[in-house]
Every structure is written in structure tokens, then in C-alpha cells.
Amino acid sequence: MQKLLFAFAAACGCLSAAAQPGTFSNPVIPGDLPDPSVIRVGETYYACGTSSEWAPFYPLFTSRDLVNWTQAGHLFEEQPEWTRSSFWAPELFHRDGRTYAYYTARRKSDGTSYIGVATADRPEGPYTDHGPVVALGTEAIDAFVLEDEGKLYISWKAYGLDRRPIELLACRLSDDGLRLEGEPFSLLRDDARRGLEGQHWMKLGDYYYLIYAVNGCCGPGSDYAVSVARSKNLRGPYEKYAGNPVLHGGEGVQSCGHGTVVTTPDGRMFFLCHAYLSGENFFLGRQPILSRIELGEDGWLHFEGGETALLWRPLPLPGTAQEPVKDFADDFSSPCIRPEWSWNYPYAVPDVEQADGRLCLSGRAKEGVHTGVAFCLRALTTDYTLETACLARPAGWSGLTLYGDDRNLLVWGLQDGRLAVRLVRDGREELLGGPLAVPDDAPVYLRMEVRGGGPAAFAYSLDGNSWQQAGTRPVEPGELLQWDRVARPGLYYEGPETSFAEFEYVRMNRVR
């Protein structure tokens, strides 16, 4: 079968409808998209974020109004040659008609996280990778680029993995933005090791400002928040605001941080960062939220509405309205794979062919991995159904999945031609339902219902109309949770590399 091909294509809008005229609701980009970076080029806004252990790498979105976003593709369709894994915190920068993407990844040779750089003639890409630009110390992540008086400077988080204090470092960049020049210098230190990362660096008036994230970034205990420091000298010393943090969780928001500022054509500033929402919405992951930020009369930066992150905000641009989250449907009739799809690149090598209204999924597990290929979507709501039709009866497993990683996943589908529900938790397998014999001369339709971010019910049909429930024990959404990721719904194949699973369509519909 042909190797998987990707192209930049328009995706459906995926946003919540505002309850009142003139307002929008956060998140503005539903679903897991940590560490968002945002820029404006002309009248168009571009945002991208962490893809972590999913490929393609760094999802890219566009918008004309900051609240309605469409996925345009990814920064990289293929993995940069120098990298191994952990694709975090991309940072977009645009200058003189050229777009730069500074991104974090683990180096193939030693597994250390460093910062690479890629360039493109337009923000949509394609991007040409130039390899590592910051490869210093035991860790370098979370790049940000500042242009000051015609000179470029890059800042990053350093020393997070050894006994030295966590530190924000900076260095002059070459005029082409591809190399460090001179010696790095310190902007801010975290002697208490409470967290210091995800910075935005800018100059307003007489001061240089650092907007940065503090506390714990990830997982159920996340208490991320946003703080500010300033200096009249680019190289510091930077004074921390006595009222920090300036933005933190509250009603409906558990934690928030790691973002960048973008300016509208009329000069207003908006901050796009990620947030864990509270309750069952936590299981949608770190979702981008938008807040207006202003320079106060006291010379410090403050958020409109106060220091508590709010779900409802005034629309940034007049004459606009926020669109509702849309259902997803793919009948595999388009000439290229849609950009919403992603797969588990650290654990499997997928083989995908899309033709004649069908998708064939195959591939092989990587060495030491005992599960299969997951071809997945970002969940945009906590309550939804995922449905498909299986056309083939390969040996092994084929069907629907909720996938955390190679050792934590759920599969609802065909096992050697018989229906079953299988849970893999910390590498241990458990059959939750089945096996159930079904005729082998017709498609098998599968439906999985997710409630509160976790699988709640499983059904099958032999004609696509009449559905029967499959009995199984409840599965909690936290059973598939990873430290920095939430489980993704999608398609699954596990079997001989010479065989494949065949699917007729996929629908992911909100449960209203």
C-alpha cells in the first residue's frame, strides 16, 4: 500500500456558540492543543501548538477573528531528521515575508530536548527544517523570539532536569534567525523550583516584559498560572510583579498558562494560552483560551476582567460571531487525508491508503511494542459518539479505539472476526465484553459512545440501522490518561503487516 500522504486542506470549524451577542466562550480552539503560539500576518491569524507523541507534527490553524479557527495542516508532514520524539511548544515568528517556526523536540542521538528552527515563505508552509538552533545544557525548551531595534533574540527555558535552578535564558540570534551569536544571558531564575517556562518577551514603552507560566503544567494536579516580570534593560535584571500571578484558574478553569500575545490591527493585545477546564472537561486536555491583556496605569500588564481566567469574554472584533462545535464526518472520498487525522508515531509505523470511498489501515508495531496502529482525531467535546463500518475481516484486531499510548488503550471491534471490547491498562490486557460471533459476509457497523470523556457504551449493527448494545463494565476516562496527554478516539488495526483493516466512513457526533 502507498505511504500515508498529507496535504494542507480546510477543516471544519470547531467552536462553541456564544450564549449572548457580543461574547464568545473559551476555549476558542476546542480539544487538546497545548502551548499555543499565535501570530498575525496581514488580516489572518495563525496558531499552532504541541503535538507531543502524535504525528503529523504541530497542528496549524488559521482565523480571521481570533475565535473561529480552521485547521490548515501541520508545520511538518514528516519528522525532522534530527528528532526522536516529544514535539512540544512550537513558536511562530514572522519577519520580512518569511515565517520561522522554533520548536522543541528530543534529539535522536541522546534523547535530550533541544530547540530546532524551520522556515517557510508563507505561514501555511511548507516548512524547511534547519536543525537545532539551541542545543545547550541538559534541556532547552519553550523558545520565543524578540525583535528589538532590528536585532533578533531568542529566549528559552533551561536546566529543568538537573539540580541547577530553572532559568529563562536568552541569546542574540544571527540576522537570518538560524544561529546563536555570542553568549547566552540569564533573564529570570526560579530558585524555589516552582516552575518557570512558556514565556512571551516583548517591549512596551520604557520596559521589557516577560509573561511566563509558573507551577505545574500537566496532569490532574496541574495548578499552572501566568506571571509577569519587567526590566528597563533587555538583559535585566527583571523584577517580578508583587501581585503575581496575573492570571490563574477559577470557576470552570482548573489551570492556565504558556501562551503568546498577538496584536489586532487597531493595537489591542490578546493572549492565547492553554487551560485545563474543570470537572469532566479536564479530559479534553489543554485547550487554547483567549484573554485580552492590557498595560495598566501602574506600568504592569493586567488581564481584562481580573486575574481569574474566564470562560466568557467580549468578542475581539466587532461584527463577528462564534460558530458552534461541528460534528465530524469523513467518507474517505477526498483526494488526500484530512488534516484532523493523527497517528501514534512512537509506537507504530502506519500504512494508509484512501481510495474509492474507503480507508485501508495497516502497519507494524515498533520494536518492543505489543499493540497496533491508532489513527485518531482530537475529541472536541466530552460527550460524543464515534461510528464506523468495518468492511474487512483481518486476523487480529480492527475497529474503534480510545488511545492513550501503546500501553493504555481501549479497542471496540473485531478480534479475528468476532466482536469484543478490550482494555489495555499499564500493559495488562482485560477483555471487557465478548467475544461475539457475527456473520462474515457483510459489513459490521460499530459505535462507541463517550460520556464525560470516557467510554460509556458500545453498540454494533449488521445493517447500519438496527443497533444492539454490547455488555461491558464502565471505563473511567482517567484509566487512559497520560501525564501530558488525553486519550484520542479513532480507528485501530493490530495484525499481520501483510493484511489491513478496511473502513467505509467515520462519524464523530456530539451527544446533545
pLDDT in tens, 182-227: 999 999 999 777 889 999 999 999 999 999 999 999 999 999 999 9
Q: Is the pLDDT of residue 47 over 70?
A: yes
Predicted pLDDT of residue 20: 78
Cell numbers of 91, please? 513558536
Residues 198, 258 contacting (CB under 8 angstroms): yes
**Percent residues over pLDDT 70 in the chain:** 96
Predicted pLDDT of residue 19: 58
Whether residue 331 lies in the annotated active site: no
Predicted pLDDT of residue 259: 98
**Which residue out of 32, 35, 351, 502 is catalytically annotated?**
35
The CA-atom distances, in angstroms, between 104 and each of 85, 113, 132, 458 are 9, 6, 9, 39
Domain with CATH 2.60.120.200 in the chain: 328-510
The correct CATH number of 23-314 out of 1.10.3720.10, 2.40.30.260, 3.40.1190.20, 2.115.10.20 is: 2.115.10.20
Q: What angle do CA 278, 448, 494 make, to 5 degrees?
A: 110
Query: Which residues does residue 274 pair with via DSSP β-bridges, in sequence order?
Result: 257, 288
Query: Which residues does residue 332 pair with via DSSP β-bridges, in sequence order?
Result: none
The CA-atom distances, in angstroms, between 168 and each of 52, 141, 321 are 22, 10, 38
The correct CATH number of 328-510 out of 2.30.30.40, 2.160.10.10, 2.60.120.200, 3.30.1490.100 is: 2.60.120.200
Question: Quick one: CA dihedral 122, 127, 133, 137, positive or negative?
Answer: positive
Question: Quick one: CA dihedral 294, 299, 300, 306, positive or negative?
Answer: negative
Whether the bond between 27 and the residue before it is cis, its omega within 30 degrees of 0, is yes
Q: What is the pLDDT of residues 93-140, one digit of tens each?
A: 999 999 999 999 999 999 999 999 999 999 999 999 999 999 999 999
Report which residue type is found at 487.
Answer: A
Residues 372, 495 contacting (CB under 8 angstroms): yes
Report the C-alpha gap between 56 and 340 in whole angstroms.
10
Q: How many CB atoms lie within 10 A of CB 131?
A: 15
| 483 exposure class (CB count in 10 Å sphere: 0-12, 13-18, 19+) | exposed
Q: Is the pLDDT of residue 151 over 90?
A: yes
For residue 318, what are the contacts with CB-CB under 8 A and spacing of at least 6?
Answer: none
| Mean pLDDT lowest among 141-155, 460-474, 494-508 | 460-474
Predicted pLDDT of residue 163: 84
Report the C-alpha gap between 87 and 84 in whole angstroms.
9
Q: Tell me the whole-structure pTM to 2 decimals.
A: 0.94
**Which residue out of 142, 167, 190, 197 is catalytically annotated?**
197
Domain with CATH 2.115.10.20 in the chain: 23-314
Whether residue 297 lies in the annotated active site: no
Report strand pairing: 23-25 vs 37-41: unpaired
DSSP H or E stretch at residue 444: strand 444-451
| 298 exposure class (CB count in 10 Å sphere: 0-12, 13-18, 19+) | exposed
